[in-house]
């Protein structure tokens, strides 16, 4: 496990704090995007309690931009105490949601957490995503499929295929290519079981 010298740790934390305030990620259109912009405004106005409450709410609702920003704040520890456990949790959710810019933060956090802690966080990520997915969160359906494929060692192709199949059935066209790639990796004896699981999941998800 790599270790940073104290001075480097401070520099890294300072850089992330700087990025939070100077380079906010603005998007447009929907209400959550407007709330993200509001969070940046609140941070600039030093209304930290309100901004953190809003970030937490958005993160719980699986907004990946909010999750990444929340993770950075928890890592920096300037307006709330440092919490590497929660920072790692939210950064990985953002990564599973497609925000590759979460990767450098995750790599740094790997230096502060034990393997046991990381495994516990991964289990919490799975629980969070399954709950969201069963409440018809389409992003979470893709995220849990990715989780089984990339976060399990060895990859759980059986469950990943099942969730990608559900994603396609839910109208997420981008999931079809991945589903078909995994199809060829499943043993024929297991394929029907995986498809049966997909149907069970599909029926269980709230419409």
If you write DSSP's letter for every residue of 14-39 in order, what string do you get? HHHHHHHHHS-----SSHHHHHHHHH
Q: Looking at the structure, do residues 166 and 98 belong to the same domain, yes or no?
A: no
Res 207: pLDDT? 65
d(CA 129, CA 58): 15
Inside any domain, residue 151: yes
Inside any domain, residue 173: yes
Res 58: pLDDT? 94
Inside any domain, residue 1: no
In terms of Cα–Cα distance, which of 132, 9, 114 is closest to 67?
A: 132
Res 188: pLDDT? 87
Residue 81 has which token pair? 């105490």
Q: Domain end: 74, 109, 144, which one?
A: 109
Q: Tokens 């069963």 label which residue?
A: 134
Res 7: pLDDT? 38
Res 12: pLDDT? 47
Q: Looking at the structure, do residues 121 and 195 belong to the same domain, yes or no?
A: yes
Q: Looking at the structure, do residues 151 and 129 belong to the same domain, yes or no?
A: yes
Backbone phi, psi, residue 167, to 5°: -60, -45
Q: Looking at the structure, do residues 95 and 121 belong to the same domain, yes or no?
A: no
Per residue of the chain (207 residues), what is the pLDDT tens digit? 333 334 344 444 444 444 444 344 433 336 777 888 888 888 888 888 999 999 999 999 999 999 999 999 999 999 999 999 999 999 999 999 999 999 999 999 999 999 999 999 999 999 999 999 999 999 999 999 999 999 999 999 999 999 999 999 999 999 999 999 999 999 888 999 999 999 999 999 976
Q: Looking at the structure, do residues 45 and 129 belong to the same domain, yes or no?
A: no
d(CA 37, CA 160): 34
* Distant-in-sequence, close-in-space partners of 83: CB < 8 Å, separation ≥ 6: 74, 77
Res 181: pLDDT? 95
Domain span at 65: 6-109
Inside any domain, residue 158: yes
Q: Looking at the structure, do residues 50 and 67 belong to the same domain, yes or no?
A: yes
Q: Looking at the structure, do residues 73 and 41 belong to the same domain, yes or no?
A: yes
Q: Looking at the structure, do residues 87 and 179 belong to the same domain, yes or no?
A: no
Q: Looking at the structure, do residues 70 and 14 belong to the same domain, yes or no?
A: yes
Q: How many domains, the chain?
A: 2
Q: Looking at the structure, do residues 74 and 140 belong to the same domain, yes or no?
A: no
Res 30: pLDDT? 66
Inside any domain, residue 183: yes
Q: Domain end: 59, 89, 109, which one?
A: 109
Res 20: pLDDT? 45
d(CA 109, CA 74): 11
Q: Looking at the structure, do residues 124 and 92 belong to the same domain, yes or no?
A: no
Q: Looking at the structure, do residues 14 and 100 belong to the same domain, yes or no?
A: yes
Q: Domain end: 45, 77, 109, which one?
A: 109
In terms of Cα–Cα distance, which of 134, 130, 143, 131 is closest to 64?
A: 143
Inside any domain, residue 124: yes
């Amino acid at each position: 496990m790599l270790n940073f010298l104290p001075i480097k740790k401070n520099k890294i934390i300072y850089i992330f704090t700087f990025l939070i305030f100077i380079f906010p990620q603005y998007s447009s259109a929907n209400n959550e995007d407007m709330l993200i912009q509001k969070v940046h405004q609140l941070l600039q106005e030093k209304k930290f309690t309100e901004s953190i409450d809003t970030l937490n709410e958005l993160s719980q609702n699986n907004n990946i931009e909010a999750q990444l920003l929340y993770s950075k704040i928890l890592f920096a520890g300037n307006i709330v105490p440092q919490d590497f456990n929660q920072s790692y949790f939210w950064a990985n959710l953002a990564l599973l949601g497609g925000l590759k810019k979460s990767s450098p933060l995750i790599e740094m956090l790997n230096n502060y957490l034990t393997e046991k802690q990381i495994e516990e966080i991964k289990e919490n990520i799975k629980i969070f995503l399954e709950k969201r997915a069963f409440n018809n969160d389409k992003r979470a359906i893709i995220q849990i499929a990715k989780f089984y494929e990339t976060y399990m060692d060895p990859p759980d192709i059986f469950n990943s295929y099942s969730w990608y199949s559900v994603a396609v059935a839910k109208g997420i066209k981008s999931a079809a290519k991945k589903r078909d790639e995994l199809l060829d990796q499943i043993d024929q004896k297991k394929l029907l079981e995986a498809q049966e699981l997909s149907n069970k999941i599909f029926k269980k998800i709230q419409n």
